[in-house]
A = this chain, B = another copy of it.
Amino acid sequence: MPSASPPTRPALRARYEERRQGLIDAAAKLFAERGYEQTSIGDLSEATGLAAGGIYHYTSSKEDLLIAICDELLDPLLEQARAIAATDAPPERHLRELLRAWLLHIESHIPHMLVFGQERHTIEREPRWRAVRRKRKRFEEILDGVLARGEADGSMAFEDRGLALLALLGMVNYAPQWLRPGGRRSAEEIADVWCNLFVR
């Protein structure tokens, strides 16, 4: 769903999408490294090899890139979460799968996650960001639903389920700051260890 009119002819369309993707990735990387505001269109130009003006073929604005980054992060994650929660596996399994998918997704979207965390003030304040906020909320609800069912069937134990949810969100959202592919522990192992904090 790019914003700067993509071509309609399929052949061109493919190349267009590919380049837009490259732009978004470059943006995610730079935004993560130096911050959204501190990254100039000139920086993006240098990183992509496109002249400054050319960037606007693939995005309608700098902020549009930021939204695209968040969408790329949230959309597949939300989809996976829904798929997992739709299974008729027991809640304990739901949680484990969810955490695994989540951490794997983060591991492959570290810059996206860093940007998403950094730009909280933008996401929170502007009306334009409502869709993003809603996706985030939806994901958290799915997660909470899993915890609730786990609590109900006794497979998980919480002193306070609300605090458990917030703890989980905190620890996972913090992961992009240290998690690296090929690190000492795989994303799945980490997921399991953390899952065990709440599963009997």
Q: Is A53 an interface residue (CB 8 A)?
A: no
**Residues 167-200 of A at the B interface (beta carbon under 8 Å):** 167-175, 177-178, 184-185, 190, 193-194, 196-197
Give the distance to chain B from A63, nearest Cβ to Cβ, in Å: 12
With known contacts A35-B121, A120-B118, A174–B163 Cβ distance under 8 A: no
What per-residue 1/0 map shows which CB atoms of A79-95 lie under 8 Å from chain B?
00000000000000000
Per the bound structure, the CA–CA distance linking A173 and B178 in Å amounts to: 14
Are A166 and B178 in contact (CB-based, < 8 A)?
A: yes
* Residues in B whose Cβ lies below 8 Å from that of A159: 193, 196
Binding site for B on A (CB under 8 A): 32-35, 37-38, 114, 117-122, 125, 159-160, 162-163, 166-175, 177-178, 184-185, 190, 193-194, 196-197
Identity of the chain B residue whose Cβ is nearest the Cβ of A173 in the assembled complex: B174
Identity of the chain B residue whose Cβ is nearest the Cβ of A158 in the assembled complex: B193
* Residues in B whose Cβ lies below 8 Å from that of A168: 171
Give the distance to chain B from A170, nearest Cβ to Cβ, in Å: 3
Give the distance to chain B from A95, nearest Cβ to Cβ, in Å: 15
Per the bound structure, the CA–CA distance linking A114 and B33 in Å amounts to: 18
User: Within the complex, which residue of B160, B163, B193 is in contact with A163, where a contact is CB–CB below 8 Å?
Assistant: B193
With known contacts A37-B38, A121-B32, A163-B193, A174–B185 Cβ distance under 8 A: no
Interface centre among A35, A118, A162, A178 (most CB of B within 10 A): A35
